[in-house]
């Protein structure tokens, strides 16, 4: 079971073809999505999948399962049943991975892009030292997903790596220290405004209200 549990609006149409391409070579594979609150969003996504699967002479109804919105415990329960988490291409799932997928040791397939929002899963896998499931292209993403889906021994080996390495994420204070260093550096920089302007700003902020002439005089005062 391929867990595709991110919000439907995050799935971009240019990547709809990954699902039928995987299904074409892994007939037993099933893609489990979660419905959106908006029926309009659901219908648009259903239609997109229907068209994508038709291009490969397949029926999306055979391979795609849609669950209703899930409460946290139900979500965690379904995640525990998943064989593989297909990280959304273009909008990676940080919270999903950190709060649920890793807890259940589910292998993660991801294809990082150039923007930060597409690189969350890659960063997580890098910290754990699990680079085997980080794809270098869409074709590579599909190949990794298929191998994890059909090779149970390989899937178990990746799951065991997740189990043994996920502690590195939760006990790593490096990013905390980096943020502290950044904030300390910023607050110690010289003020960009002269002292008299800071003083005037504090005085004005303490007044209940400025009339228009006072505001303009203060705003344009050199």
Q: Give phi and psi for 3, each to the nearest 5.
A: -85, 115
Thinking of the domain 2-170, which architecture would CATH place it in? 3-Layer(aba) Sandwich (3.40)
* Token duo for residue 162: 């997740």
pTM of the shown model: 0.79
Tell me what pLDDT residue 211 has: 57
Tell me what pLDDT residue 172 has: 79
Distances (CA, A) of 174 to 165, 168, 177: 16, 11, 5
Mean pLDDT by 10 residues, the chain (222 residues): 95 97 97 96 97 98 96 92 96 87 94 94 95 98 98 97 92 87 84 57 54 54 46
Q: Give phi and psi for 188, each to the nearest 5.
A: -90, -5
The rounded distance, in Å, linking the Cα atoms of 93 and 117 is: 8
Contacts 24+ apart (CB under 8 A), 166-174: 166/102, 166/105, 166/128, 168/127, 168/128, 168/129, 169/98, 169/102, 169/124, 169/127, 169/128, 172/127
Tell me what pLDDT residue 2 has: 98
The rounded distance, in Å, linking the Cα atoms of 100 and 122 is: 16
């Amino acid at each position: 079971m391929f867990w595709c549990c991110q919000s439907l609006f995050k799935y971009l149409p240019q990547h709809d073809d990954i699902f039928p391409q995987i299904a074409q070579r892994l007939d037993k594979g099933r893609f489990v999505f979660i419905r959106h609150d908006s029926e309009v969003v659901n219908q648009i996504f259903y239609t997109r999948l229907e068209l994508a699967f038709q291009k490969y002479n397949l029926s999306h109804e055979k391979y795609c399962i849609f669950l209703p919105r899930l409460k946290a415990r139900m979500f965690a329960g379904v995640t525990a049943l998943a064989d593989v988490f297909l990280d959304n291409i273009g909008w990676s799932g940080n919270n999903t991975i950190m709060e649920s997928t890793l807890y259940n040791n589910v292998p993660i397939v991801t294809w990082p892009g150039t923007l930060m929002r597409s690189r969350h899963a890659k960063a997580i896998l890098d910290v754990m030292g699990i680079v085997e499931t980080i794809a270098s292209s869409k074709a590579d993403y599909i190949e990794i997903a298929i191998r994890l889906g059909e090779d149970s021994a390989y899937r178990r080996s990746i799951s065991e790596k997740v189990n043994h390495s996920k502690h590195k994420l939760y006990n790593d204070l490096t990013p905390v220290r980096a943020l502290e260093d950044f904030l300390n550096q910023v607050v110690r920089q010289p003020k960009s405004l002269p002292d008299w302007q800071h003083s005037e700003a504090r005085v004005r902020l303490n007044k209940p209200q400025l009339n228009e002439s006072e505001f303009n005089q203060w705003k344009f005062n050199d």
